[in-house]
Amino acid sequence: MTNALPSSCTVAVIGSGAMGAGIAQIAAAAGHPVKLFDARTEAIGKAIAGIRATFVKLAEKGKMSADAAHAAGERLQAADSLQDLAGSALVVEAIVENLDAKRTLFAELERIVGDDCILATNTSSISVTSIGAGLRLPSRLAGMHFFNPAPVMALVEVISGLATDKAVADIVYATAAAWGKSPVHAKSTPGFIVNRVARPYYAEALRLLTERAAEPATIDAVMREAGGFRMGPFELMDMIGHDVNFAVTQSVFNAYYNDPRFTPSLAQQELVNAGFLGRKSGRGFYRHDGSDAPAVG
């Protein structure tokens, strides 16, 4: 059986938004020195402060000792530039869901890290084969797809592109398991497993809404209470972020040669156009800013 990366190995996380911060928290809690980088410098400090506060709260709830919480918080370090990530054993990318942006980043990164450094992408839907295609060593790239919120959700999809070395996918799998997750192996197909299966869940809910069949709160309540889902489709999209969710639908739609089953919703496009991205912007299908005003008219 393949071994996980030893906890003494440095893990770098690029992108310190919702997912990157969660992944950095998991790696630090597992004992790794963690370096966090983001194109927006201010996002890094905010993420590290947030993760440290979470560790303190976990200690207050008795889920970890105060010493362990402090030590985990101290293992997080802000990277001033990509150059700072030079000694990393594993880099997990969690930047914007855009193929060109990811390819550009990995090409730059490959000039900095050692040849034995494993590169992982948290992409929700983009082909791991395509992301890796521009690399000098595409065999070292695998998908390491966490779910939101990463510290809470057990599943991690470990995605192999056509060029991914099996040994690399096995180390990523073993490392996710060592971090307390429940990994699964999957091949690089559009949306992988969960985001493929989940597309109709969002699409049909958005169609119901545009046909004015029922309000988001009604549809969410039905899916939770009668359907047994933990979250209804609208509250889930508000949590994921409409920019991210819309980009995933577009990516799956394009990858399947515009199969109408995956047609992106104009109603969701409008939310993205308006900057109503969900929880992260304070407004989506619901209000998340304490206001009583309707979220969407």
Query: Looking at 96, 99, 177, 194, which residue binds ligand NAI (CB under 6 A)?
Result: 96
Q: How far is the CB of 149 from ligand NAI (least distance, A)?
A: 8
Dist. CA 91–CA 114, nearest whole Å: 11
To the nearest 10°, report the CA torsion of 43, 48, 52, 53.
Answer: -10
Evaluate whether 78 touches 54 at the Cβ level (below 8 Å).
Answer: no
For residue 81, indicate whether it is catalytic: no
SS3 content of the chain, % helix, strand, coil (to 5): 50, 15, 40
Residues 56-95 touching ligand NAI, rule: CB under 6 A, are: 94-95
Query: Looking at 12, 24, 64, 105, which residue binds ligand NAI (CB under 6 A)?
Result: 105
Dist. CA 217–CA 215, nearest whole Å: 5
For residue 125, indicate whether it is catalytic: no
Q: Of 195, 245, 251, 265, which residue is the catalytic one? A: 195
Q: How far apart are the first and last CA of the chain?
A: 55
Q: Of 88, 122, 124, 265, which residue is the catalytic one? A: 124
For residue 291, indicate whether it is catalytic: no
For residue 204, indicate whether it is catalytic: no
Which x/- pattern, by CB under 6 A, does the window 5-44 give for ligand NAI? ---------xxxxxxx-----------------xxx--x-
Minimal CA–CA distance to 166: which of 139, 127, 190? 139
Minimal CA–CA distance to 199: which of 155, 264, 256? 264
Q: How far is the CB of 15 from ligand NAI (least distance, A)?
A: 3
**Which residue, 19 or 30, is less far from ligand NAI as judged by CB?**
19
Q: Which residue has the tokens 């700072």?
A: 84
**Which residue, 175 or 195, is less far from ligand NAI as judged by CB?**
195
**Which residue, 14 or 271, is less far from ligand NAI as judged by CB?**
14
Bridge pairing between strands 76-78 and 90-93: unpaired
* Type and span of the H or E element at 7: none
Residues 144-173 touching ligand NAI, rule: CB under 6 A, are: 146-148
Residues 107-126 touching ligand NAI, rule: CB under 6 A, are: 122-124
Dist. CA 29–CA 69, nearest whole Å: 8
Residues 223-262 touching ligand NAI, rule: CB under 6 A, are: 240-241, 244
Other C-beta atoms closer than 10 Å to the C-beta of 62 total: 7
Active-site residues, by number, are 124, 145, 157, 195
Instruction: Write out the residues near ligand NAI by the rule CB under 6 A.
Output: 14-20, 38-40, 43, 94-97, 101, 105, 122-124, 146-148, 240-241, 244
